[in-house]
Amino acid sequence: DYMIEKIHLSIDDIYIILLSILVTYEHKQMIYLKKETIENNSIPHLSIDKINNFFKFLSINKDDYIKKSKENKIYDKSFGKFKNLIRYPIIEIESNLFIIPVFEQFIDTISNNLYFLLLENFRNQGKDESKKFLDEFGIILEKYVLELAIKQFGAKKIVDANKIVTN
């Protein structure tokens, strides 16, 4: 729901677009990527609107990338060198011509860092929105961990934290 609300993409949309990019890169051995190469009107997740939202959220043009890097003094220190590639794993080098400099980082951003990208989005909206997201995400994560623990150890061996800590 957060993904749809904030970037107009569902998790399914993101992963279908990712898979389409993977297939495009693999079969054509491309260095450059254009949005229309992954568009497919017969697959709802690959509409041009969804692809545009995907690129809007995960890409930056090369001039803005260089500007952000200089502002953050990325090249002056080793720590944080890949900060901008984590946030923007796709770089637009000219109009509708994109490059993915570190493909593994692109996959990592989508698979491991979506939470942090959402958190950044809510932090930019203000403290109240950020806290609301963190609280709701924490509850969802607790339920997920509890389900995993019950599956592994059995319901009788697991006690919900809310039954132990009542305040």
Which pLDDT does position 70 carry in this prediction?
A: 80
Look at residues 26, 122, 15 and name the one whose alpha carbon lies nearest to residue 58: 15
| CA within 13 Å, CB half, 47 | 10
pLDDT at 30: 66
3-state SS assignment for residue 80: coil
Determine the residue type at 23: V
pTM as predicted: 0.73
Residue 75's pLDDT is what? 61
Task: Please tell me the predicted confidence (pLDDT) of residue 77.
Answer: 56
What confidence score (pLDDT) does residue 83 get?
Answer: 74
Would you state the pLDDT for residue 28? 67
The pLDDT of residue 82 is 59
Residues of the chain with pLDDT under 50: none
Strand, coil or helix: 1: coil
Predicted pLDDT of residue 158: 86
CA distance readout (Å), 149 to 26, 136, 139, 154, 156:
38, 20, 15, 7, 11
